């Protein structure tokens, strides 16, 4: 069977069909192919008139997998030869290249030739065009890009080769610790429709070393060790102050944005999310009709939902109904017996496709815009080449109240969501479920609108109950025309097609939604609100679980104030305890905890739930400084260790040891509490000291005290709360 090159390698075939011989020769001689020894048989000299036809024979003689590298690079060239790619390439060339060099590029005979010339002769410019094109299409997809806010600037960002960019490279090298090899280049992106002019910085950095195994045509195997290059893109829009960053992962994007804003722009970095959007397709649960808006620059003649996917019964049962723009999907549904009731009882809208017929002002031709929306907060509008249609689509979505754009929270909203934010920040998770929010009476819609949560799919997506052990059921409605007799005529019939799949829980759909937490924005919002109550705010991040907020004046002294989370988890509580003990020189402090972990003290500091200190009688978040002082005064003596040696239980599995002059320490675990209780009883009632055998008898016989208490708790106890007369005991409370 003869292989069709246009199907197996369409981009490479196009190069052989349309590219000039000199450019085609340069493509085959590209550095990317220098290890492909078999390709030497097809390379040709520009002066050889038979060279292109000889090279083309590879499409018939070589296997598809061997041609794969050439097809991949050819596809890149064809992409830049598209309408939008051509626009981006020309804009970058006029601002980046010397006039003679730019003229040489622009004088190539067609778009494909210009793209191929840039690939072969100005590869850095070609890659910049690819990055710019990717930015235009995908920067609103959070998994590709993140947007950060800086201040607008008349002069723009730093120029290529400037001292500020060199300082940025040194800073990133120090923070990432991946060795030398950093470089950065700058390109100016021209204005494009509704998109203002911007500055693009391409950052190249070393990735961790890796290796691959190679086998040559003779079967010889070898290992190649190398350090792959990493790439990040920073786009700064001076007119708006927005900074778009694309990098390998979310943490890396935040690091690059923070260093670029603070080092290159010399501004203050903020975690507040900007430019975030939510596509809310839940309105289609009530109706599938779309109102025709009146716009100045375009006439909308028809707008129809042409496909709707719903879940029936539970989230995994998918039913899909599709039609054309000339039909009314609502009328189609009501024309089929039983179908209206199915849509009325749908538990969720999963997918919507919309077709819009329109005519631009001063044009006679009618055009059609087609795009999709999903319940995963995505839209195909972002991949449409025509900028006018992308803008038009988003204007329509705003008119229909489907597109909701984020905003900063007001004071009253901050008050409403503060308990939820404290609970979310306390667990330290990057994702929460609808079930978790529902149990706490939290409405996720407001948290999404002001940027604290982002929709991220479903728990066990496409899973259902399996009472009959069938597995997942995916259903699709197929409308067909059934022929009738001469009297009845033809009529439409809706068939429900079912396919099998895998298993999962049912229930109320909102309980199974998953939301991603913007943890940095949550923490920044909390810090900004809390510092208003302090006399000397000086926020410092000590660890991911502990923040230093500043000081509060109490009885003529300055009391350090901290914010902690996750104290209900033993490891986190131990780590926070260690951090606080290392700051004992600051004196007794006040620890505000985001959760409700037990205990009045933590490492010689007063411990209190933050939620208890919020004045709920005000319309905005406010901590009452006098209330904080009262809490501190009430528990200050306990934080110092109390007036007598004692062990106070906080629940069945937690207790706090008080030693006057030695402060307090938390003891978690029934066996540990029982052993400490014996030491406390011995101190208060005698006899003391106690041997290890007497301490563990009937509790954990045969085990050593270090093994029972584990590190670092045992080190803390020995260092400050217990003493022994020998290396292994006997033991007593150190007073």
- pLDDT for 396 equals 93
pLDDT in tens, 606-630: 998 888 777 655 544 455 677 788 8
- Strand order across the beta sheet in which 513-517 lies: 431-433, 513-517, 453-458
Reported confidence tier of residue 274, pLDDT bands at 50, 70, 90:
low
- pLDDT for 112 equals 92
Tell whether the model's pLDDT for residue 268 goes beyond 50.
Answer: yes
Residues near 610 by beta carbon (within 8 Å), at least 6 away in sequence: 422, 530, 563, 592, 593, 594
Reported confidence tier of residue 487, pLDDT bands at 50, 70, 90:
low
Q: Give percent of the chain with pLDDT exceeding 90.
A: 12
Please write down the HEC assignment for all residues of 243-260: EEEECCCHHHHHHHHHHH
* Element holding 148 (H helix, E strand): strand 145-149
- 400 with 423, same domain? no
- pLDDT for 15 equals 92
Q: How many CB atoms lie within 10 A of CB 721?
A: 22
CA 157 to chain centroid, in Å, comes to 26
How wide is the angle at C-alpha 649 spanned by C-alphas 648 and 653, nearest 5°?
145
Q: Is residue 683 part of a domain?
A: yes
Tell whether the model's pLDDT for residue 144 goes beyond 80.
Answer: no
- pLDDT for 292 equals 93
Overall average pLDDT of the 361-379 stretch: 84
Tokens 């002069």 belong to residue: 155
pLDDT in tens, 151-204: 888 888 888 888 898 998 888 888 887 778 888 888 888 776 667 888 888 888
Under 8 Å between Cβ of 79 and 127: no
Query: How much is the mean pLDDT over the chain?
Result: 80
pLDDT in tens, 390-423: 889 888 998 998 887 666 666 677 777 777 888 8
- 581 with 620, same domain? yes
Q: Which of 28-42, 138-152, 266-280, 436-450 has the lowest mean pLDDT?
A: 138-152
- 178 with 130, same domain? no
Overall average pLDDT of the 490-511 stretch: 47
Reported confidence tier of residue 533, pLDDT bands at 50, 70, 90:
low
Interatomic CA distance for residues 292 and 304, integer angstroms? 10
Q: Which residue has the higher pLDDT, 273 or 413?
A: 413
User: How many structural domains are present in the chain?
Assistant: 5
Structural domain including 18 reads 5-134
Reported confidence tier of residue 346, pLDDT bands at 50, 70, 90:
confident
- pLDDT for 370 equals 93
- pLDDT for 322 equals 92
Residues near 130 by beta carbon (within 8 Å), at least 6 away in sequence: 76, 79, 80
- 532 with 648, same domain? yes
- pLDDT for 617 equals 56
Tell whether the model's pLDDT for residue 140 goes beyond 70.
Answer: no
- pLDDT for 618 equals 55
Q: Which of 455-464, 573-582, 698-707 has the lowest mean pLDDT?
A: 455-464
- 586 with 710, same domain? yes
* Element holding 370 (H helix, E strand): strand 367-374
C-alpha distance from residue 552 to each of 395, 530, 532, 539 (Å): 50, 12, 11, 13
Reported confidence tier of residue 276, pLDDT bands at 50, 70, 90:
low
Residues near 365 by beta carbon (within 8 Å), at least 6 away in sequence: 359
> Helix H segments across 19-110?
21-28, 51-56, 58-61, 64-80, 83-96, 99-106
- Of residues 454, 472, 428, the one with CA closest to residue 314: 472
- pLDDT for 323 equals 92
Q: How many CB atoms lie within 10 A of CB 425?
A: 23
Domain boundary pick from 134, 154, 187: 134
- pLDDT for 685 equals 81
Reported confidence tier of residue 706, pLDDT bands at 50, 70, 90:
confident
- pLDDT for 77 equals 92
Tell whether the model's pLDDT for residue 304 goes beyond 50.
Answer: yes
Q: Is residue 220 part of a domain?
A: no
Q: Is residue 216 part of a domain?
A: no
- 584 with 683, same domain? yes
- pLDDT for 338 equals 87
Tell whether the model's pLDDT for residue 46 goes beyond 90.
Answer: no
- 253 with 296, same domain? no
Interatomic CA distance for residues 567 and 48, integer angstroms? 76
Tell whether the model's pLDDT for residue 385 goes beyond 70.
Answer: no
Using DSSP's 3-state secondary structure scheme, residue 648 falls into strand
- pLDDT for 115 equals 92
User: Residue 690 carries which DSSP code?
Assistant: B
Tell whether the model's pLDDT for residue 79 goes beyond 70.
Answer: yes
Q: Is residue 582 part of a domain?
A: yes
- Of residues 648, 649, 614, 642, the one with CA closest to residue 628: 614
The two three-digit tokens of residue 78, written as one number: 């064809």
Q: How many CB atoms lie within 10 A of CB 364?
A: 6
Q: Which of 9-13, 107-111, 209-213, 730-734 has the lowest mean pLDDT?
A: 209-213
- pLDDT for 495 equals 45
- pLDDT for 137 equals 52
Tell whether the model's pLDDT for residue 336 goes beyond 80.
Answer: yes
Interatomic CA distance for residues 620 and 449, integer angstroms? 18
Interatomic CA distance for residues 590 and 552, integer angstroms? 9
- pLDDT for 248 equals 74
Q: Give percent of the chain with pLDDT exceeding 70.
A: 84
Tell whether the model's pLDDT for residue 143 goes beyond 60.
Answer: no
- pLDDT for 629 equals 84
Domain boundary pick from 81, 104, 134: 134
- 241 with 123, same domain? no
Q: Which of 79-83, 344-348, 507-511, 542-546 has the lowest mean pLDDT?
A: 507-511
- pLDDT for 468 equals 36
The two three-digit tokens of residue 403, written as one number: 């597109």
The two three-digit tokens of residue 305, written as one number: 């939902």
Tell whether the model's pLDDT for residue 67 goes beyond 50.
Answer: yes
- pLDDT for 506 equals 42
Overall average pLDDT of the 523-530 stretch: 73
Q: Is residue 569 part of a domain?
A: yes
- 314 with 424, same domain? no
Q: Is residue 219 part of a domain?
A: no
C-alpha distance from residue 98 to each of 101, 102, 122, 636 (Å): 5, 6, 12, 71
CA 177 to chain centroid, in Å, comes to 23
Q: Which residue has the higher pLDDT, 449 or 680?
A: 680
- 589 with 646, same domain? yes
- pLDDT for 483 equals 56
- 14 with 153, same domain? no
Q: Which of 217-221, 508-512, 665-669 has the lowest mean pLDDT?
A: 508-512
- pLDDT for 690 equals 85
- 687 with 624, same domain? yes
- pLDDT for 371 equals 93
Tell whether the model's pLDDT for residue 4 goes beyond 70.
Answer: no
The two three-digit tokens of residue 59, written as one number: 């499409």
- pLDDT for 352 equals 93
- pLDDT for 333 equals 92
- pLDDT for 443 equals 77
Q: Is residue 30 part of a domain?
A: yes
Q: Is residue 670 part of a domain?
A: yes
Domain boundary pick from 404, 429, 451: 404
Please state whether the predicted TM-score (pTM) of the whole model is above 0.85.
no
């Amino acid at each position: 069977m003869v292989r069709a090159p246009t199907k197996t390698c369409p981009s490479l075939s196009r190069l052989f069909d349309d590219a000039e011989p000199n450019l085609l020769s340069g493509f085959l001689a590209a550095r990317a192919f220098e290890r492909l020894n078999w390709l030497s048989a097809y390379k040709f000299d520009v002066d050889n008139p038979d060279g292109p036809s000889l090279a083309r024979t590879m499409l018939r003689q070589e296997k598809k997998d061997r041609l794969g590298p050439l097809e991949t690079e050819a596809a890149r060239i064809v992409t830049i030869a598209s309408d939008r790619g051509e626009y981006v390439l020309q804009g970058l060339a006029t601002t980046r290249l010397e006039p003679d060099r730019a003229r040489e590029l622009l004088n190539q005979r067609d778009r494909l030739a210009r793209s191929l010339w840039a690939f072969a002769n100005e590869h850095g410019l070609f890659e910049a065009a690819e990055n710019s094109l990717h930015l235009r299409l995908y920067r609103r997809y959070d998994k590709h890009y993140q947007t950060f806010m800086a201040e607008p600037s008349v002069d723009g960002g730093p120029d290529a080769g400037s001292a500020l960019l060199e300082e940025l490279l040194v800073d990133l090298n120090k923070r990432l610790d991946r060795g030398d090899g950093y470089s950065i280049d700058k390109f100016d992106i021209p204005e494009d429709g509704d998109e203002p002019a911007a500055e693009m910085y391409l950052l190249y950095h070393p990735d961790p070393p890796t290796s691959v195994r190679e086998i040559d045509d003779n079967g010889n195997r070898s290992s190649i060790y190398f350090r792959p290059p990493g790439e990040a893109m920073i786009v700064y829009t001076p007119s708006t102050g927005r900074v778009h960053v694309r990098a390998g992962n979310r943490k890396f994007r935040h690091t690059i944005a923070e260093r670029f804003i603070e080092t290159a722009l010399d501004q203050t970095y903020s975690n507040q999310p900007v430019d975030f959007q939510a596509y809310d397709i839940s309105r289609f649960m009530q109706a599938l009709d779309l109102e025709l808006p009146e716009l100045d620059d375009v006439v909308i003649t028809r707008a129809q939902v042409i496909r709707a996917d719903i879940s029936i019964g539970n989230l995994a049962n998918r039913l899909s109904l599709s039609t054309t723009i000339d039909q009314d999907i609502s009328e189609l549904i009501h024309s089929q017996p039983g179908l209206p009731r199915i849509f009325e009882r749908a538990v969720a809208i999963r997918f919507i496709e919309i077709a819009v017929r329109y005519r631009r002002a001063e044009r006679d031709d009618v055009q059609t815009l087609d795009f999709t929306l999903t319940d995963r907060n995505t839209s195909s509008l972002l991949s449409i080449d025509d900028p006018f249609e992308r803008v038009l689509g988003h204007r329509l979505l705003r008119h229909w109240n489907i597109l909701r754009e984020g905003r900063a929270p007001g004071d009253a909203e901050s008050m409403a969501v503060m308990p939820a934010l404290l609970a979310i920040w306390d667990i330290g998770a990057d994702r929460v479920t609808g079930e978790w929010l529902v149990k706490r009476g939290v409405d996720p819609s407001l948290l999404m609108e002001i940027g604290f949560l982002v929709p991220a799919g479903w728990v066990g997506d496409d899973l259902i109950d399996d009472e009959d052990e069938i597995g997942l059921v995916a259903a699709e409605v197929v409308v067909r025309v059934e022929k009738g007799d001469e009297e009845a005529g033809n009529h439409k019939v809706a068939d429900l097609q079912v396919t099998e799949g895998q298993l999962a829980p049912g229930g109320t759909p909102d309980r199974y939604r998953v939301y991603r937490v913007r943890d940095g924005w949550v923490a920044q919002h909390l810090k900004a609100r809390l510092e208003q109550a302090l006399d000397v705010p000086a926020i410092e991040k000590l660890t991911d679980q502990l923040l230093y907020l500043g000081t509060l004046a109490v009885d003529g002294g300055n009391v350090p104030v901290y914010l902690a989370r996750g104290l209900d988890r033993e490891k986190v509580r131990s780590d926070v305890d260690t951090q606080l003990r290392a700051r004992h020189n600051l004196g007794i402090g006040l620890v505000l905890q985001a959760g409700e972990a037990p205990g009045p003290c933590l490492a010689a500091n007063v411990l209190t739930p933050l939620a208890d200190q919020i004045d709920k009688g005000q319309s905005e978040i406010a901590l009452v400084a006098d209330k904080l002082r009262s809490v501190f005064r009430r528990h200050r003596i306990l934080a110092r260790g109390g007036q007598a040696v004692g062990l106070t239980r906080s629940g069945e599995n937690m207790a706090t040891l008080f030693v006057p002059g030695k402060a307090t320490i938390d003891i978690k675990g029934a066996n540990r509490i029982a052993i400490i209780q014996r030491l406390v009883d011995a101190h208060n009632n005698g006899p003391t000291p106690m041997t290890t055998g007497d301490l563990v008898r009937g509790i954990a016989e045969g085990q050593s005290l270090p093994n029972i208490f584990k590190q670092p708790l045992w080190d803390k106890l020995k260092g400050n709360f217990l003493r022994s007369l020998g290396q292994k005991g006997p033991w007593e409370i150190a007073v």
